[in-house]
Each structure stands twice: as C-alpha cells, then as structure tokens.
A and B are shown apart, each in its own frame.
Chain A
Amino acid sequence: MESNLSLTILCLVLSLIPVIIWLGLMFLKDGINKKVMFIIFLGGIATVLPLFALEYLWVTPPEAVEGYKQTMLDFSSQYLTSINFKDWISYFTNDVFGPAMQTILEYGNKFSAINFLRVAEGSGSLIYLLPTYMFFAMLEEVFKQWVLRSADKKYLIVKAINDSVKYSIVAGLGFSFAENILYFKNGWGTDAFISMYIFRIIFTSAGHMAFSGIFGYYYGMSKFALTIKKVENLSGDTETIRKKMVLKGLVIAMVLHGIFNTSVQVSEMFKPALIFAIFLIVSIYIYAYLLLKRKAGDLVLASDISNSESSTMNKRNEETLLELIDTWFREEKYNDVVQVCDRFLQRDPDNNVVKLFRTRALDHIEGNNPSKKILNTILDKPAEVKDESVLNKYKPVKVQKDFQNSEEFKKFQEQEQAKKTEEKTFKLDIR
C-alpha cells in the first residue's frame, strides 16, 4: 500500500514537470488570471474521472461482475446488523446490480480494447475498434470544452479571442496532467516506460493543448459573434452563428483528436502511423501558436459597458463608413482601412466592429496570417504583403486653403462680383 502511494506521488511529480514547462513556455510573458487558471486546471483534471470510470466499464470483462457482487455481499454480512437491510442488499446485488452491470460490461466489451487484440489476431472486427478510439477522443473534447464554458460563465474571463484560447489550453493541460498520472502508474516498470513518458509529455500533452486551443478559438469567436458577423458579412441571426461556431470548434477538435488517438493505436501494429500522429500534432501546434500571435486575437472586445463612451457620429454615416471600410478591406486597401478606422475611433472609441477591422488590417499589413506565414516559410519566400491603398498614394493637395484674408483673394472676389453684375445687366438688356 505504501509503495503504491509513493508510486502515485512519483507519477504525480513526473506529470507535473511537463505542466510547468508548458505553462512557462506559453504564459511566462502574457498576463493571465492565476486564480482562474488554477480553477480551470483543476476542472481539466476533474473531467478525467468520469471518462476513466467509463473506460473502466469498457475494458472490464463481464466475469468481473461476480467479484463485485461478492464484495458487496461480504460487506453487508460483515458490517450490517439489520436483517431487512441485508435482505434488501442481497436482492439488489443479485437481481438489479448484477444483471445490469453484466449487460453494460457485455455491451461495452463489444467495442472495447479487448477487441483490439482480436483484430490483431485476425478474429475481431476493425469496425468496432476505430469508433472506440474516436469515441473516447470525442468525449474528452466534450468534457474539456465544458470546463472552459462554465468557467467563462462564472468568471467572465473571455474578453478577447486569445483569452479563450489560453484558458482552453489550460483546461487541456489539466486533463493531460491527470491522464498522464494514470498512464505513468500503469506503465511504471515496463520496458516501454521511458519512450511512453517522452511521447506523452511532449506530443500527447501538446495534442491536448492544441485540440483545446482550437475549440477555445472558436468559442472566443462565438462570444463576439455580433462583431464578427458585421466584419465578415455573415448572414443569419447572431444566436445561430454563435452556436454554429461553438459546434464547429468542437467538431474540428473532436475529429482531429480522434484521428490522433487512432493513429497512435494503429502505430502499435503499423509503425509509420506514429510519424503521422507526430506530424499532425506538430503542425496543429504551430498553427495554434501563430494564431495566438495575431493582433486581432488580442483585441479586447468584451468591454465594460459602464466605461463606454458614446459615439458622436450619426447612425447613417456610421453605416456608410462601415460599408466603405468593408469594401476597402476586401479590395486589400489595408492602409486606408487603418486610417479610416483611426479617425472613426476618435469619434466612436468603443466601436468593436471598427476595432476588429483595424486590427485585422494591421495583421494583413504585418503579414500575420498563420497559413501564409507557414506557406512562406516552406517556400522560403519573404512574407508578401499586398496593399492596394489609395489615400496615401496621392500627395496631399496642392490646393491653397487659407487665403480668405489675402489681398489676392479679395481682388478675385471683386472681379467675380463685377462679372455677376455684368451678367445681370446683360440679361436685363436682352429683355
């Protein structure tokens, strides 16, 4: 028992190492609410428990039910005194718990890891196997996203898209921390421990963070659906767009996680699958990292209403200007967009739509688009920034402005007046 405890503590420490390294790498420079981060981390850990319970049912053979039944009956005969209660326990154990558990385990087994062995022996069906790994991967994502969403409901932590990504990553890290403890404990002492340890702390942890990060990104987008809707010209009501975005993030995270888990499992039979799994994680991780670097992601969109300043622009002009900004943005006149947005924000400092257009244009000017950045690195080309701006292209006018008091202008005015009088006289003459 004591050695079991010390092994648990050892595995806990071993799992904590990657957490500290990852957190240090990710958030050393950035500000993040430490208390909320800790709570989310704990939440991530907690989500492991129901999943492991479920997985336990999955892999336990139906015969184990007899053992459970015996334990329950032993317990009641040893500690309970009331005959009625003992009868009830024995009824419950033999007629309710036993058959129900038997059925659950039998069904669970059909899709279980035991089938994996049957596949390896050529007697099982792959159809049962793949959905199992997909299913667990998906369940993990469902639980992790629930942590972020409930934390945001309670603490209102997501004020910019990147907040959402960061906190979601913390939830993923918490999950992988708890999962690692259990895996390390099971694998302790085996030959493969070191390779498993290294693989898990690097790739599996990064994977959990990356999948959660993707969900976090879409959750963040969904929170600012109204703003994003205006910027991206989406049609439909805000609530639908919001739900669609959350769902999209969840589905992408689930599918990628499922592919990752499946390829890790398949790699036990077919080695190259492992390389694919690593490649998948590394590329998603780089993509998520670059996504976090974008300015648009850091833009604080959830502002305190009591601090907001009112606009000094009339509604119709605002619409006209937003249309113009949108058109120019799509025509890649990014410098113009930034200039117009700057002047717009002087008049209406809290307009989120304008703020988002401005930062997105800046991201384009500075070449912060993740896909382009990756592509340019691969092709070894400098980031090409296209800009079709016009306002800067032309020199400010060579028209005089402050001449109203000059002698020349007064003379000109007199001449014009004289001309008018002439014309009038001329017209009168004709009559």
Chain B
Amino acid sequence: MTEVNITIEDVQTGKENTFVKLVTIAGQLDESNVDEKSTMIYELISKTPANLSLIFNLENLEYMNSKSIGYLTDWYGKISSANGKMVIVKAKPNVADVLQVVGLTQLIPIFNSLEEAKFAVLNDTPATPEAPAAAPQA
C-alpha cells in the first residue's frame, strides 16, 4: 500500500457562515488507498451542508490516479451546488498537467500561494451579481 496523508485544518475567515478548510494531501493517491482516504473528504462535506469551501494543498502530492480525479470532480459538484468554492494550491507539474487535460482547472483553479488561494475563496468575482451572498457584516 502506498503512503498518502490527508490532513484537514480550519482556515480563519473572519466571516460568519463561511467555512473554509485547508486539505493537505501528501504522497501518492492510487488504487490501494484512494477509496479509503476519500471518505474523509466526503465526511467533511456532509458535516457542513452549506457554504463550505475547500483549499487543496497538493504541494507534496506526487501522483493522482484516475479514480481520485473522479472523486475530485464529484466533490466539486457537491461543494459548488452547496454554494462553496474549491481551489488548489501548489500542484506539482505532472498533477497540474493531468488536471488541465481533464478540464478540471477550468472549474478548480490552481494558485501558487496559500494567500492567493485564500483571497480567491473569500472574495467573490465582482462581475457576477448572482454570486453567493457573503456574510452580512463583511
């Protein structure tokens, strides 16, 4: 079994009713571990039914197999339909390459730094008026 480590941290948003989690995946996601490890993310999503955004830190992820890309797409579907956003930070070139060909980078952008990712998750695109309502006092 190949090693993969997933850690989930809270990200302070300073906004009410907006939840951002930093998911760090390190190692290799392959057939031997992807089903087991993906349940962590599914649990996380089901615990926070709305306004949950995820930042994936893939700095130390060496490889993603096809199944994990399928899961990623599925999570994106769940998160975005519950008013959340999903971004990736610091993906290795080969991982970024696969995601680009699949077309996921159009849905889940990749940023070079955590600050950029946080900023992107917390700030709505100004041009879209129907963007999800941010917390009232923000």
Interface-lining segment among A176-184, A206-214, A222-230, A403-411:
A403-411
Over the window 308-325 of chain A, the binary record of Cβ atoms lying under 8 Å from chain B Cβ atoms (1 yes, 0 no) is 000001101100110110
B80 at the interface (CB under 8 A from A): yes
Q: A320-B66, A390-B73 are in contact. Are A397 and B109 (CB under 8 A)?
A: yes
Tell me which of A314, A328, A340, A408 contacts B123 (CB under 8 A). A408
The answer to whether B69 and A399 have CB atoms under 8 Å apart is no
B106 at the interface (CB under 8 A from A): yes
A138 to B134, CA, bound (A): 76
The answer to whether A416 and B66 have CB atoms under 8 Å apart is no
**Chain A stretch 305-345: residues in CB contact (< 8 A) with chain B:** 313-314, 316-317, 320-321, 323-324, 327-328, 336, 339-340, 343-344
- The residues of B that contact A395 with a CB separation of less than 8 Å are 80
B131 at the interface (CB under 8 A from A): yes
B48 to chain A, nearest CB (A): 18
The answer to whether B69 and A398 have CB atoms under 8 Å apart is no
The answer to whether A343 and B118 have CB atoms under 8 Å apart is no
The answer to whether A321 and B98 have CB atoms under 8 Å apart is yes
A125 to B65, CA, bound (A): 65
Tell me which of A390, A399, A408 contacts B125 (CB under 8 A). A399
The answer to whether B109 and A343 have CB atoms under 8 Å apart is no
Main secondary structure of the interface of B (DSSP, over half): helix
A150 at the interface (CB under 8 A from B): no
* Closest B residue by C-beta to A336: B103
Over the window 57-99 of chain B, the binary record of Cβ atoms lying under 8 Å from chain A Cβ atoms (1 yes, 0 no) is 0000001111101100110110011000111000000100110
Interface size on B, residues (CB 8 A): 41
The answer to whether A340 and B85 have CB atoms under 8 Å apart is no
- The residues of A that contact B115 with a CB separation of less than 8 Å are 412-413, 416
- The residues of B that contact A413 with a CB separation of less than 8 Å are 115, 119
**Chain A stretch 374-423: residues in CB contact (< 8 A) with chain B:** 390-391, 393-401, 403-404, 408-409, 412-413, 416
B138 at the interface (CB under 8 A from A): no
A395 to B102, CA, bound (A): 16
Interface size on A, residues (CB 8 A): 34
- The residues of B that contact A327 with a CB separation of less than 8 Å are 66-67, 70
A355 to chain B, nearest CB (A): 15
The answer to whether A409 and B98 have CB atoms under 8 Å apart is no
The answer to whether B102 and A340 have CB atoms under 8 Å apart is yes
The answer to whether B69 and A324 have CB atoms under 8 Å apart is yes
- The residues of B that contact A398 with a CB separation of less than 8 Å are 85, 124-125, 128, 131-132
The answer to whether A403 and B123 have CB atoms under 8 Å apart is yes
Which residue, of A400, A408, A416, has the highest number of chain B Cβ atoms within 10 A? A400
B23 at the interface (CB under 8 A from A): no
Q: A327-B66, A404-B116 are in contact. Are A320 and B98 (CB under 8 A)?
A: yes
Which residue, of B66, B77, B94, has the highest number of chain A Cβ atoms within 10 A? B66
Can you spell out 25 A-B residue pairs with CB atoms less than 8 angstroms apart?
A313-B97, A316-B63, A316-B94, A317-B98, A323-B67, A324-B69, A324-B70, A339-B103, A340-B101, A340-B102, A343-B101, A347-B101, A390-B77, A391-B103, A391-B104, A391-B106, A394-B107, A397-B80, A398-B131, A399-B109, A399-B125, A401-B120, A409-B119, A412-B115, A412-B119
Interface residues of B (CB under 8 A from A): 63-67, 69-70, 73-74, 76-77, 80-81, 85-87, 94, 97-98, 100-104, 106-109, 115-116, 118-121, 123-126, 128, 131-132
Interface residues of A (CB under 8 A from B): 313-314, 316-317, 320-321, 323-324, 327-328, 336, 339-340, 343-344, 347, 390-391, 393-401, 403-404, 408-409, 412-413, 416
